[in-house]
Structure 1
Amino acid sequence: MLGWHPPGRRDDRGNRGRSAKTVTREGGNGATGVDPQQLWLDPGRPRRGRRPAFSREAITTAAVALADAEGLDAVTMRRVAAQVGAGVMSLYSYAPDKETLLELMVDHVSGELPATDDLTGDWRADLKGIAHLQRALMLRHPWLPAALSTRRALGPNTLAFLEHALAALRPTGLDGAAKLEVFAQLTAFVAGYVAHEITQREAVRSPDRAAAEARYLAAVAADGHHPELAEALSAPGRSLTPEATFTRFLNRLVDGLDTA
């Protein structure tokens, strides 16, 4: 996870904080959660039997490659096993279900985020830099925004980047809970923007359709019933590149944060 969520979670019956599984191994819909201590503090390989020819790192890397190429739906234990040349059942010692595998995948790609860069002391500038790093990461791994909405466990790479973000917020004087909330808000913004950006990038928009939409908005703006829209559409044009739009939205968010 690149952001932060409140501890504990509720299942469909309203129970919070359970670590037992109620999922199928391939599915993951309806899990009550992953035990982070068991996931991150164990040695990462089966405790019994001979040492296998693959590792949790190899399994995670293969899963990430599948998700990057084909999306999260393509990531099944069977497909991942085929990628690493292992039997499906042998993978369950490392990742008992897809939810656990997803936790491993998110923390794996979070390792691409620099967590040791020098901070400037200008918390707004540093926070904006962090957001740009997050956007770049999510664009490299388009499945990541969706994955962030469901995972909870904080792995080592996630913790390192979270520590970096909290250090960037130190000059604000906010208490610890508020800092976590600010970082969660920032991450949610980036994930939402990137999800929209990816959808727009992948959508097939013909020139004829774009022209038709422009004519429609012009007609609506001229009908006299939408003066606010007419004024907005008559404003000077701005760069509509994804990068420029992201930067404008980010500036409004960060510059408007109240640290009182």
Structure 2
Amino acid sequence: MARTGSSGRSAGVDPGLLWSAPAPRPRRGRPPAYDRATITEAAVAIGDAEGLAAVTMRAVAARVGAGTMSLYSYVPNKETLLELMIDRVSAEHGLPAEPSGDWRADLRRLAWEQRAMMRRHPWLPAALPARQTFGPNTLAVVEHVLAVLAPTRLDGRAKLETFSLLTGFVAGHVAYELAQQRALEAAGRSGGELHDVQARFLRSAVAGGDYPQLAEALATSAADPDPDAVFGRLLDRMINGLTAGA
């Protein structure tokens, strides 16, 4: 759980208290109709519908039908709630019992699952950089990735960095996809319309000869507006780069 320093400000989340200690319960009164899991589910639902900024202790309390102050018996602050939310959705990874033996294919599968999960929970890419600890569901994903990479020549540090960088790539790409989607909705355009507008502009921009390298790149490659195809191509390059020499 989160610690509080002498200044009254949070001193961060203590993973031992958060994940190892039993979930707290009020000492007095009637047993409540909610628990830490219910609170976490409510926070995830709010984040999915309204974004991370909307996840406040007041909003979560209203959703579970509790007084705001009573929630602090279970979750002392939003930092801790964020850790619980991230670990809760990490349980959605469809991890196989054992790696397939094709570690590149297994990494691709994991990345595609991460992308789908982050699109279901669009608050997640923004939440991950603030994560302070790994909960049990996240640790299960880490353990799976280490098992996937066991046949490679990567050392332990490189394996952990591969997991971190792969997750960061997916989070960054999904954040871009979601931002583009919001921009299109605000402009009342489809992805195809935006692609056509951009293509016309770039052809006009390079026609005068000021951008010869860009002109050559455009002439020798066709733009692909399919977001799945783009993600797949970039993912392959990312994995090949991360695991060079493995």
Residue among 117, 140, 144 paired with 1:137? 117
Q: TM-score, normalised by structure 2?
A: 0.89
Please name the residue that 2:19 is paired with: 40
Residue among 135, 148, 151 paired with 1:155? 135
1:242 Cα deviation (Å)?
A: 1.2
| Structure 2: runs of 5+ lacking an equivalent | none
Pairwise CA RMSD: 2.2
Q: Does 1:68 align with 2:48?
A: yes
Distance 1:210 1:161, change over 3 A: closer
Please name the residue that 2:234 is paired with: 249
Secondary structure of 2:151's counterpart equals helix
Whether contact under 8 Å (1:114, 1:161) holds in the other structure is no
Amino acid corresponding to residue 148 of structure 1 in structure 2: L
Percentage of identical aligned residues: 53
- Map 1:71-90; keep pairs closer than 5 Å: 71-90=51-70
Amino acid corresponding to residue 18 of structure 2 in structure 1: L
Q: Name the structure with the higher helix share.
A: 2
Q: Does 1:99 align with 2:79?
A: yes
- Map 1:114-129; keep pairs closer than 5 Å: 114-129=94-109
Higher RCO (C-alpha 8 Å, min separation 6):
1
User: Deviation string for 1:145-180 (max 9, x for gaps)?
Assistant: 000011121111111111111111111122211110
Distance 1:126 1:212, change over 3 A: closer
Q: TM-score, normalised by structure 1?
A: 0.84
1:93 Cα deviation (Å)?
A: 1.3
Whether contact under 8 Å (2:195, 2:225) holds in the other structure is no
Residue among 145, 148, 165 paired with 1:165? 145
CA distance in 1, matches of 2:105, 2:179: 28
User: 41-50 or 158-167, which moves further after superposition?
Assistant: 41-50
Runs of 4+ in 1 over 6 A off after TM superposition: none
Aligned residues: 237
Please name the residue that 1:258 is paired with: 244
CA distance in 2, matches of 1:224, 1:75: 51
